[in-house]
A and B are shown apart, each in its own frame.
Chain A
Amino acid sequence: MPHELVGNESRRISGKALGIGIATGAYGLSFGAISVASGLSALQTQALSLLMFTGASQFALVGVLGAGGGLVAAVLTAWLLGARNGLYALSLAPTLRGSWFQRIGLAHWTIDETTAMALAHPEPLAAQRYAFWRTGLAIYVLWNLGTLIGALSAAVLPEPRTLGLDAAIPAAFIALLWPRLVSRTTWAVAASSAALAIALTPILRPGLPVLACAFVAVAAAALVKGRTS
């Protein structure tokens, strides 16, 4: 695939892709451990990393299941968090189009990091494709390896609460949230959403308060539109 690229350029991209892969693999370790501590088996945990392959949705699914939120709330929360990947795919589609077979493979790797890498290398087209699939490959392998090690070590560890693994879950979510808090509006969305989730916790079944906060995102989008147009 990279034949139109000079060696330097492709080496530079590969190096960056590997760096991102290693960082993501480390985060896969915590996913594996947290998922098993939330009550999933190591096999179910691995299946999520292989098949779902989108971190925030995976953390959300195991978080909601672990809190007793049930099937529907867990799946819907994962889907809502995964919806942004569809928009990434839309913006990448013109550059990464190919056969049906390629699209199906590419689709699976369309996540935050691969999109960011591809969009960071717009020229030439070959560099963009190379950046996308090298990052996808590095992350897919290392994220799954990290998950495996994390899941297997958590399975032999003592009681999760003694190790503070229940405190690792909100820490993982705040670390995922942090880079998205880029403006006053996003801070306002985050704060109102957190407040609504707390307020609804005693009233609704576990899992539903988080789901209800999807409306905060829709309402915020409507309010911003009203202000700017």
Chain B
Amino acid sequence: MIWAAVLLGSLGCWVEKLLGYLLPASTLRSPWATRIAAFMPVALLAALVAVQTFATGQSLVVDARVAGLAVAIVALLLRAPFLVVVVVAAVSAALLRAAGWAT
């Protein structure tokens, strides 16, 4: 199942890129398509942030991930690079769990 997701997902993402080179320039270059393309990553990434922070299966929980997210936002406000943002979030969640202050 994972291999099917990896290969199907990759094939589709490649076809999307290729289509842009093959279709005539007028096909999708409407303000409508441009706006959807600009909003789509924002909507999906924001949903992924929310779900990956608060969801465990179908239940909503508040655990060390919330603290990790807060630390990540502080790091972003301080203009930290990507890897630093990810690492400080993981480390703060790990420390809170090791100290027994969060699950």
Chain A residues near B (Cβ < 8 Å): 23, 26-27, 29-30, 34, 39-41, 44, 47-48, 51-54, 56-57, 59-61, 63, 65, 67-68, 70-71, 74-75, 77-94, 96-97, 103-104, 106-108, 110, 161-178, 180-181, 186, 189-191, 193-198, 201-206, 209-210, 212-214, 216-218, 220-221, 224-225
Please tell me if the beta carbons of A221 and B18 are within 8 angstroms of each other in the complex.
no
Cβ contacts under 8 Å, B83 to chain A: 26-27, 29-30
Please tell me if the beta carbons of B49 and A194 are within 8 angstroms of each other in the complex.
yes
Cβ contacts under 8 Å, A174 to chain B: 45, 49, 69, 72-73, 76, 85
Please tell me if the beta carbons of B86 and A193 are within 8 angstroms of each other in the complex.
no
Q: Can you pick out 7 interface pairs between chain A and chain B where the beta carbons lie within 8 Å of each other? A: A27-B82, A87-B28, A92-B21, A171-B69, A174-B72, A210-B44, A225-B35
Please tell me if the beta carbons of B40 and A75 are within 8 angstroms of each other in the complex.
no
Q: Which of A165, A167, A209 has the most CB of B within 10 A?
A: A167
A27 nearest CB across to chain B (Å)? 4
B95 nearest CB across to chain A (Å)? 8
Cβ contacts under 8 Å, A27 to chain B: 82-83, 86
Interface of B is mostly: helix
Please tell me if the beta carbons of A201 and B48 are within 8 angstroms of each other in the complex.
no
Cβ contacts under 8 Å, B89 to chain A: 164, 167-168, 170-171
B4 nearest CB across to chain A (Å)? 6
B93 nearest CB across to chain A (Å)? 3
B1-19 near A? 1/0 per residue, CB < 8 Å: 1111111111111101111
Chain B residues near A (Cβ < 8 Å): 1-14, 16-23, 25, 27-29, 31-55, 57-60, 64-65, 67-69, 71-73, 76, 81-83, 85-95, 97-98
Cβ contacts under 8 Å, A161 to chain B: 97
Please tell me if the beta carbons of B21 and A85 are within 8 angstroms of each other in the complex.
no
Please tell me if the beta carbons of A189 and B20 are within 8 angstroms of each other in the complex.
no
Please tell me if the beta carbons of B9 and A78 are within 8 angstroms of each other in the complex.
yes
Q: Given A89-B18, A178-B76, A214-B40, A48 and B45 touching (CB < 8 A)?
A: no
Taken together as a complex, chains A and B put the C-alpha atoms of A34 and B19 apart, in Å, by 30
Cβ contacts under 8 Å, A68 to chain B: 57
Q: Which of A61, A90, A189, A205 contacts B29 (CB 8 A)?
A: A90
